[in-house]
C-alpha cells in the first residue's frame, strides 16, 4: 500500500524524489522518507519523518540534503510498527552499505530478526522491512553485487514484496524486485535517466515509456542502462511500452481536491471509455484486447465477477448486465472471500475481475485461484500494463485517466460502462441480442456522458442537501435491483469520506431487522429509480415515514408521488433502467463529498486509508 520512487540519472535526485512522493501520497500517508547517494565513496544521506510529505519537506529544510544523482523515496502505510520517524522508510542495515524501501509484509520476519540478531545485527526500528536491509548487508559483505544480493535476500523472504535498494558500493545503480502481489514495480525509461516507482502517477511527469516487473522479477537501473532478471538467476527480456496517459491528468487543476476534479471528469472519462470500446454510427463494439478470452465468451456457461470495495459494487452492476442482456447466469464475489473458499469452478465459468489499479492483492490472488481452476478470465482495468491485465486472458480497458482521490469515483462509472460493453459483446457472440437492440443499447450508453455532465452542473445544489448530514451519526442507504449496488456504493463513499456510519441495504431486507433502527434521528437515503421495483421502494419509504424516519429520496425527474412522500429529494434524469446506476451514483458521490467537507474531513486522504490495497 506504500508508495515507492527511485531515480538515477543526470539530474538532481532530491527534487524528483520529493515531487514523486507527493504524487504517491495517496498510497499511504503516515510517514515518508528519502535516501540520496552522493558521489562515489560517500555514505547515503537519509531523511525521514512521521506524518505527511509536508513534514518531511520541513525536516529536509532543517538539514539540507546533499547533491546527488541517485536516490530512493517512500511514503508509508504502516503495517509492522507504529508510524514514527524510526519506522519510516528508508531503512539501512547495521552500517550504511545498503538502503532500502519496501512495500509488503515479511511474513517470516520474527524468525529472520531473531536469526539476524543472533549474528550480531542490531535493529533501529520495529519494522519487518529492516530485516531485508540486514539480509542484503550480509550478502554484500559476502561479496555479492547488489542485484545478486537482492536475489539472495529475496530467497529468504516469505510473503509478497516490492523492494527497491541502493548501495554506496555501486554508485549510480538502483535495484528493484517484485515477489507476489504486494504492489507493482514500474520502470520508467527517461533520456539519460531511469526511474522506478510503485505507480505510474510518479513516472508520468518524466516519461511515458514504462515496463512493469512481473512476479519474481528483478531489475537493475543506471542512467543509461536497464537489466532484468528472474529470481532464479535467469535473464529476462522485458520490452517497455509507451502509454497514452496524459501527465496533466495527474494535476488538481483548478480544483481544491482530486476527488472533486475526478467527479467532474466523469463525463469525459465516460466518453473516452465508451469511445474506446464502441462506435455509435455504425453501432459496433470494439473490445480489441479480449485476446485469448474472446472465444470463451461463446463457450462459457456462467460468469463470476470479483472485485473489492467500489470495484465490487461495479461488479454487482455488471451481474445485472450479464443476466439481463446476455441471459447468462452471473454471480459476484468479494475477492478476499472467494480466494479462500476453494470455489468450485473450471473452464465453464468466465471470471471477470474489476480493479481500477490492477494491483489489489485480493483480486490478484482470486485471479490466481481462478487460473489454477482453468477458468478463462477477463479483467476490467484502468491501469494499462498492471498485474491484473497480465494475469487475465483478456482486458477491457477503461479510459478514466489517473485517479488520485483515495475514494474512487470516475473509475466506478467507467467500470460500469465497460461491463455494459462486455455484456453486450457476450450477448452478441452468443446470438442473444438483435442488431436493433444492440444499436439501442449502444446509443443509450453513448448518451450517458452528456447526461452525467448535465447532472454535475447542479453540483452545488446537490451539495446543499448534505447540510442535514453534518451532525448525523448514522445513515441508512436503501436500494433494490440495479440500485442496490448504488446504495452500497453511496454508503461506502459516505463512511470513508465523512466518517459517518452509513449502511447500504437491500430494501427488501428492511423488515427483517434494520427497520428497528429507524426513528426521527436516523435518516435514510432511498434510491427509487424507475426500474421495475420502484413500487417496492415506495412502500419502504412509507414504512419509514410512518415511524418518524426522515427520508432523502433519489428519484427520477418528474416523479411527483415520491417527491411528495419523501422529506427531501434529489432528482436524476430519466434514463433506461439498466443505465440508472450511472446517473444515480452522481448525487451520492456529491453528498458524501459535501458531508465530508462540512465536517472538515480530509477528502483526498481519508484517515487510515490508502488507495491501492496491496497487503492483506
Ligand atoms: C473506495 C475505493 C476502494 C477500491 C478498492 C479496490 O472508494 O476506492 O474500495 O475500490 O480498494 O481497488 P481497485 O479497484 O484498485 O482494485
Pocket probe for ligand 1: among 360, 380, 396, 412, the residue whose CB has the most ligand atoms within 8 Å is 360
Nearest protein CA to atom 6 of ligand 1, as residue: 308
Calculate mean pLDDT across residues 365-374. 96
Helix axis angle for 53-62 and 13-24, nearest 10°, is 160
Helix segments in 119-185, DSSP class H: 129-141, 146-154
Backbone angles phi, psi at 137, to 5 degrees: -55, -45
What is the distance in A from the centroid of ligand 1 to the CA of 390?
Answer: 19
Which pLDDT does position 57 carry in this prediction?
83
What is the distance in A from the centroid of ligand 1 to the CA of 325?
Answer: 26
pLDDT(610) > 90: no
Calculate mean pLDDT across residues 493-497. 97
Residue-averaged pLDDT of the chain: 93
State pLDDT tens for residues 97-138. Answer: 999 999 999 999 999 999 999 999 999 999 999 999 999 999
CB atoms within 10 A of CB 91: 28
Tell me the CA distances in angstroms from 602 to 323, 380, 403, 607, one per residue in order.
39, 29, 17, 8
User: Residue 569 has which C-alpha cell?
Assistant: 429529494
Calculate mean pLDDT across residues 500-505. 95
Q: For 167-171, which contacts have Cβ atoms below 8 Å and span 24 or more sequence positions?
A: 167/97, 167/98, 167/99, 167/136, 167/140, 168/37, 168/40, 168/41, 168/42, 168/43, 168/44, 168/96, 168/97, 169/97, 169/140, 170/145, 170/146, 171/37, 171/39, 171/40, 171/41, 171/70
Measured distance CA(229)–CA(311) in Å, rounded = 33
What is the distance in A from the centroid of ligand 1 to the CA of 383?
Answer: 13
Residues with catalytic roles = 2, 611
Which pLDDT does position 62 carry in this prediction?
64
Which pLDDT does position 249 carry in this prediction?
65
Query: What confidence tier does 464 reach under pLDDT thresholds 50, 70, 90?
Result: very high
State pLDDT tens for residues 149-198. Answer: 999 999 999 999 999 999 999 999 999 999 998 888 999 999 999 999 99
pTM: 0.91
Query: What confidence tier does 247 reach under pLDDT thresholds 50, 70, 90?
Result: low
Calculate mean pLDDT across residues 32-45. 87
Ligand 1: lining residues by beta carbon, under 6 Å? 308-311, 355-357, 360, 363, 407-408, 492, 496, 612-613
* Residue 211, strand partner residues: 187
Nearest protein CA to atom 5 of ligand 1, as residue: 309
Q: How many residues does the chain have?
A: 616
The CA dihedral of 233, 234, 239, 244, to the nearest 10 degrees, is -40
Pocket probe for ligand 1: among 199, 307, 309, the residue whose CB has the most ligand atoms within 8 Å is 309
Of 105, 110, 109, 129, the closest CA to residue 616 belongs to 105
* Residue 70, strand partner residues: 8, 37
Measured distance CA(608)–CA(590) in Å, rounded = 22
Query: What confidence tier does 26 reach under pLDDT thresholds 50, 70, 90?
Result: confident
State pLDDT tens for residues 371-415. Answer: 999 999 999 999 988 899 999 999 999 999 999 899 999 999 999
Which pLDDT does position 216 carry in this prediction?
94
Nearest protein CA to atom 1 of ligand 1, as residue: 407
pLDDT(552) > 90: yes
Of 597, 611, 614, the closest CA to residue 499 belongs to 597
**Closest ligand 1 atom, residue 406 Cα:** 8
What is the distance in A from the centroid of ligand 1 to the CA of 574?
Answer: 28
- Compute and round to an integer the Cα radius of gyration of the chain: 25
**Closest ligand 1 atom, residue 383 Cα:** 15
What is the distance in A from the centroid of ligand 1 to the CA of 496?
Answer: 11
What is the distance in A from the centroid of ligand 1 to the CA of 490?
Answer: 14
Tell me the CA distances in angstroms from 293 to 299, 346, 380, 389, 422, one per residue in order.
10, 14, 13, 12, 12
User: Residue 501 has which C-alpha cell?
Assistant: 456510519
What is the distance in A from the centroid of ligand 1 to the CA of 408?
Answer: 6
**Closest ligand 1 atom, residue 309 Cα:** 9
Pocket probe for ligand 1: among 183, 306, 311, 406, the residue whose CB has the most ligand atoms within 8 Å is 311
Of 429, 430, 593, 561, the closest CA to residue 496 belongs to 593
Query: What confidence tier does 616 reach under pLDDT thresholds 50, 70, 90?
Result: confident
Nearest protein CA to atom 10 of ligand 1, as residue: 310
Do the Cβ atoms of 207 and 195 come closer than 8 Å? yes
**Closest ligand 1 atom, residue 310 Cα:** 10
Pocket probe for ligand 1: among 257, 259, 408, 495, the residue whose CB has the most ligand atoms within 8 Å is 408
Amino acid at each position: 500500500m506504500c508508495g515507492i520512487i527511485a531515480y538515477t540519472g543526470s539530474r538532481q535526485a532530491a527534487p524528483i524524489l520529493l515531487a514523486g512522493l507527493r504524487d504517491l501520497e495517496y498510497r499511504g500517508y503516515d510517514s515518508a522518507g528519502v535516501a540520496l547517494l552522493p558521489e562515489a565513496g560517500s555514505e547515503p544521506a537519509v531523511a525521514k519523518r512521521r506524518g505527511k510529505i509536508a513534514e518531511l519537506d520541513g525536516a529536509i529544510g532543517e538539514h539540507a540534503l546533499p547533491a546527488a544523482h541517485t536516490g530512493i523515496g517512500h511514503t508509508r502505510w504502516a503495517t509492522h510498527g507504529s508510524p514514527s520517524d524510526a519506522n519510516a522508510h528508508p531503512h539501512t542495515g547495521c552500517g550504511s552499505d545498503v538502503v532500502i524501501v519496501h512495500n509488503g509484509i515479511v511474513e517470516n520476519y520474527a524468525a529472520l530478526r531473531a536469526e539476524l540478531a543472533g549474528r550480531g545485527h542490531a535493529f533501529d526500528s520495529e519494522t519487518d522491512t529492516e530485516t531485508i536491509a540486514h539480509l542484503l548487508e550480509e550478502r554484500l559483505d559476502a561479496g555479492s553485487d547488489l542485484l545478486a544480493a537482492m536475489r539472495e535476500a529475496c530467497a529468504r523472504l516469505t510473503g509478497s514484496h516490492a523492494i527497491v535498494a541502493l548501495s554506496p558500493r555501486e554508485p549510480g545503480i538502483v535495484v528493484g524486485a517484485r515477489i507476489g502481489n504486494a504492489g507493482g514495480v514500474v520502470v520508467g525509461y527517461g533520456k539519460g535517466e531511469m526511474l522506478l516507482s510503485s505507480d505510474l502517477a510518479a513516472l508520468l511527469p518524466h516519461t511515458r515509456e514504462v515496463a512493469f516487473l512481473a512476479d519474481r522479477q528483478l531489475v537493475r537501473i543506471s542512467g543509461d542502462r536497464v537489466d532484468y532478471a528472474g529470481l532464479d538467476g535467469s535473464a529476462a527480456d522485458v520490452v517497455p511500452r509507451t502509454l497514452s496517459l496524459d501527465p496533466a491528468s495527474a494535476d488538481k487543476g483548478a480544483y481544491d481536491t482530486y476527488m472533486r476534479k475526478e467527479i467532474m471528469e466523469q463525463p469525459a472519462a465516460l466518453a473516452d471509455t465508451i469511445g474506446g470500446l464502441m462506435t455509435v454510427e455504425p453501432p459496433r463494439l470494439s473490445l480489441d484486447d479480449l485476446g485469448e478470452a474472446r472465444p470463451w465468451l461463446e463457450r462459457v456457461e456462467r460468469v463470476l465477477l470479483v472485485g473489492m470495495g467500489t470495484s465490487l459494487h461495479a461488479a454487482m452492476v455488471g451481474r445485472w448486465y450479464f443476466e439481463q442482456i446476455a441471459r447468462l447466469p452471473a454471480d459476484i464475489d468479494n475477492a478476499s472471500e472467494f480466494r479462500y473458499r476453494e470455489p468450485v469452478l473450471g473452464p465453464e465459468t468466465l471470471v471477470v475481475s474489476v480493479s481500477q489499479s490492477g494491483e489489489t492483492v485480493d483480486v490478484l490472488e482470486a485471479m490466481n485461484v481462478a487460473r489454477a481452476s482453468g477458468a478463462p478470465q477477463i479483467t476490467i482495468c484502468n491501469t494499462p500494463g498492471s498485474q491484473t491485465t497480465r494475469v487475465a486472458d483478456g482486458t477491457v480497458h477503461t479510459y478514466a485517466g489517473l485517479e488520485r482521490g483515495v475514494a474512487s469515483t470516475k473509475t466506478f462509472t467507467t467500470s460500469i460502462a465497460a461491463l455494459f460493453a462486455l455484456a453486450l459483446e457476450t450477448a452478441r457472440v452468443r446470438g442473444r441480442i438483435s442488431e436493433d437492440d444492440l444499436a439501442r443499447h449502444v446509443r443509450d450508453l453513448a448518451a450517458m456522458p452528456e447526461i452525467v455532465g448535465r447532472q454535475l452542473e447542479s453540483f452545488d445544489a446537490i451539495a446543499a442537501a448534505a447540510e442535514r448530514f453534518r451532525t448525523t451519526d448514522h445513515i441508512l442507504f436503501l436500494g433494490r435491483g440495479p440500485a442496490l449496488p448504488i446504495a452500497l456504493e453511496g454508503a461506502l463513499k459516505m463512511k470513508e469520506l465523512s466518517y459517518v456510519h452509513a449502511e447500504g441495504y437491500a430494501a427488501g431486507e428492511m423488515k427483517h431487522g434494520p427497520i428497528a433502527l429507524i426513528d426521527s434521528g436516523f435518516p435514510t437515503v432511498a434510491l427509487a429509480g424507475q426500474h421495475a421495483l420502484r413500487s417496492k421502494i415506495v412502500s419502504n419509504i412509507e414504512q419509514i415515514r410512518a415511524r418518524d424516519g426522515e427520508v432523502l429520496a433519489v428519484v427520477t425527474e418528474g416523479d411527483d408521488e415520491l417527491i411528495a412522500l419523501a422529506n427531501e429529494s434529489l432528482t436524476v434524469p430519466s434514463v433506461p433502467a439498466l443505465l440508472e446506476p450511472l446517473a444515480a451514483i452522481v448525487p451520492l458521490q456529491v453528498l458524501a463529498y459535501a458531508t465530508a467537507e462540512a465536517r472538515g474531513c480530509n477528502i483526498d486522504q481519508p484517515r487510515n486509508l490508502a488507495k491501492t490495497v496491496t497487503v492483506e
